[in-house]
Amino acid sequence: MTNIQNILTYFNQLPILLQIVWIGVLGLFVSILFFLFYLYYLRNYLRAEEVISKNLFTEYEASLINYLYSGDGISKITSEQQEIIDKMKTCIQDKFKRTIFISVLSKLKNDISGEMATAINTLYLKTGLIKYSLNNLESKKWDKIALGIKELTQFEVVNVYNEISKYKNHDKQEVRNQVQLYYVSLFHFNGLEFLDNLKSPISEWNQIQLLEILQKFDDQEITDISPWLKSENDSVVLFALKLAKIYNQFQVIEILLNLLNHKNKQIRVCVIEILGYFQVKEVKQILKINFGNRSEEEKVAFFKIFEDIVDEEDEAFIIENTSNPNFKIRFLAFKLLKKLNIEAINLLKVNASGINNEQIFKFLEII
C-alpha cells in the first residue's frame, strides 16, 4: 500500500510532460498485453476451428460415400439415403457446417462423372442446399451472388435460368463471368445466346474458360456465329473469331473479309490470322490495296500468313517490301522471296544498298 502511495506521490511531483509520457507507456503496455492475449485466444480459436473443420470434413466425406453407395441404381432414393439426407438437412442449417458440406460435394463433383455425379446433384437438391444458393443471389454483396451462381452451375440446376439472367449485365465482372459459365456449362452452344445482347466486355480469361467448356461436349455442332461477328461489342467479335477458327466456320469468310476494315486494330489483326488459317486468297487483294496505311501489326500478320497463299503474281509486292523499314516485314519478305524466286533474292543481295540486310541473308542461308 505504502509502495503504491510512494509511486503516486512521485508521479504527482513529476513535470506534466513526464506524466504524459508515463501514462502513454502504461497505455501502450496495457494495449500490448491485451493484443497478446487476443492473439493467443485467436490462435487457439483458429486451431480448434481447423480441427473441428477437419473432423466434419471427414464425417461428411464418409456420409457422402455412404449415400452414393446406398443407391439401388434405379434413381429412387433408398431409406438409407433418405436418412443421410435428413441428417444433412439439419447440419446445413449451420453456416459453418454448410460451407464444409458444400466443399465436400464440390471436391468430388469436380472429379467424377456419370451416375455418381448425378447422385451428387440430387443430394444437393434434396438437402435443400439450392435454397441457400438462391438466397445468395439476393445478397447485396457481389461475391455472394457469384458464389451462388457458381454453386448452381456446379450442381447443374437448369431451371433457374431466369433468376440468373438478371445478373448477365451486372457491374462486377466476376458475377458476369459466373453467369456466362452457367449458360455455357448447362446449355452448351445454345447458352451462347447471351452474346446476342451483351453490352459488357467478356474477359480474356473467361473466353478461354468458355471455349474449354464447349470443347468438352460430345455434340460439337455450333450455332450460327455470324451475328456475333457483326456485334458492336468488340469482345464478342473477338470471341466469335476464336469460335470461327476452332470450329472451322468457312461459311463466315465473307463477313471475315468485311472485318478487315473493322475500327478495332486487334480485331483486324485477328481476322488476318484466321483468313490465313483458312487460306483465303482474296485477303491478298484487299490488304495489298491499302497496305501502306495499315498498322505495323497488321502488316506483320499479313506477311506471316502470306507463306501459305503466295504465288508468282505477288513477287513485285514482296520485292517492294524487301526495303520496308520494319525489320520483321523485311525478313518475312526475303523469306517469301527465297521460296518464290531464289534468283531474285540473289540479285537483291548484290544490289543491296542503304539497308543492312546481312543478318537476314545469313539467316536465310541457314534455314
Partner 1 sequence: MSNLKKIVLAEDNSTLALLLKFRLEKEGYQLLIAEDGKKAIELIEEHKPDIILSDIMMPFISGLEVISHVRNKLKLQMPIIVFSAAGQEEMVLKAFNLGANDFMGKPFSPNELVIRVRRLLT
Answer yes or no: are the C-beta atoms of 216 and 189 closer than 8 Å.
no
Does position 123 bind partner 1 by CB under 8 A? no
Does position 69 bind partner 1 by CB under 8 A? yes
Shortest distance in whole angstroms from residue 334 CB to partner 1: 34
Nearest Cα neighbor of 49 from 89, 102, 97 is 97
Tell which one of 77, 117, 300, 364 touches partner 1 (CB under 8 A). 117
Nearer to partner 1, 68 or 305 (CB): 68
Does position 217 bind partner 1 by CB under 8 A? no
Q: Give the count of alpha carbons within 13 A of 202, CB side only.
A: 30
Shortest distance in whole angstroms from residue 139 CB to partner 1: 28
Shortest distance in whole angstroms from residue 69 CB to partner 1: 6
Does position 216 bind partner 1 by CB under 8 A? yes
Nearest Cα neighbor of 201 from 267, 268, 294, 270 is 267
CB count in 10 Å sphere of residue 172:
15
Shortest distance in whole angstroms from residue 212 CB to partner 1: 6
Shortest distance in whole angstroms from residue 58 CB to partner 1: 8
Does position 72 bind partner 1 by CB under 8 A? no
Does position 74 bind partner 1 by CB under 8 A? no
Tell which one of 111, 171, 311, 312 touches partner 1 (CB under 8 A). 111
Answer yes or no: are the C-beta atoms of 136 and 145 closer than 8 Å.
yes
Residue linked to cell 510532460 = 17
The cell for 104 is 465436400
Does position 35 bind partner 1 by CB under 8 A? no
Q: SS3 of 324, please?
A: coil
Tell which one of 9, 74, 114, 311 touches partner 1 (CB under 8 A). 114
Does position 204 bind partner 1 by CB under 8 A? no
Tell which one of 212, 224, 254, 320 touches partner 1 (CB under 8 A). 212
Please give the Cα distance from 308 to 276 (Å, whole number): 7
Tell me which residues in 49-68 interact with partner 1 (CB under 8 A).
61-62, 64-65, 68
Max Cα-Cα span within the chain: 112
Tell which one of 9, 12, 113, 353 touches partner 1 (CB under 8 A). 113
Does position 110 bind partner 1 by CB under 8 A? yes
How many residues bind partner 1, per CB under 8 A? 20
Nearest Cα neighbor of 183 from 151, 206, 161 is 161
Does position 104 bind partner 1 by CB under 8 A? yes
Shortest distance in whole angstroms from residue 110 CB to partner 1: 7
Between CA 248 and CA 251, with CA 250 as vertex, the angle to 5 degrees is 130
Please give the Cα distance from 165 to 168 (Å, whole number): 5
Answer yes or no: are the C-beta atoms of 152 and 141 closer than 8 Å.
no
Answer yes or no: are the C-beta atoms of 129 and 156 closer than 8 Å.
no
Stretch touching partner 1 by CB under 8 A, among 7-15, 107-115, 319-327, 341-349: 107-115
Burial class (CB in 10 A: 0-12, 13-18, 19+), 266: middle
Task: Enumerate binding residues for partner 1 (CB under 8 A).
Answer: 61-62, 64-65, 68-69, 104, 107-117, 212, 216
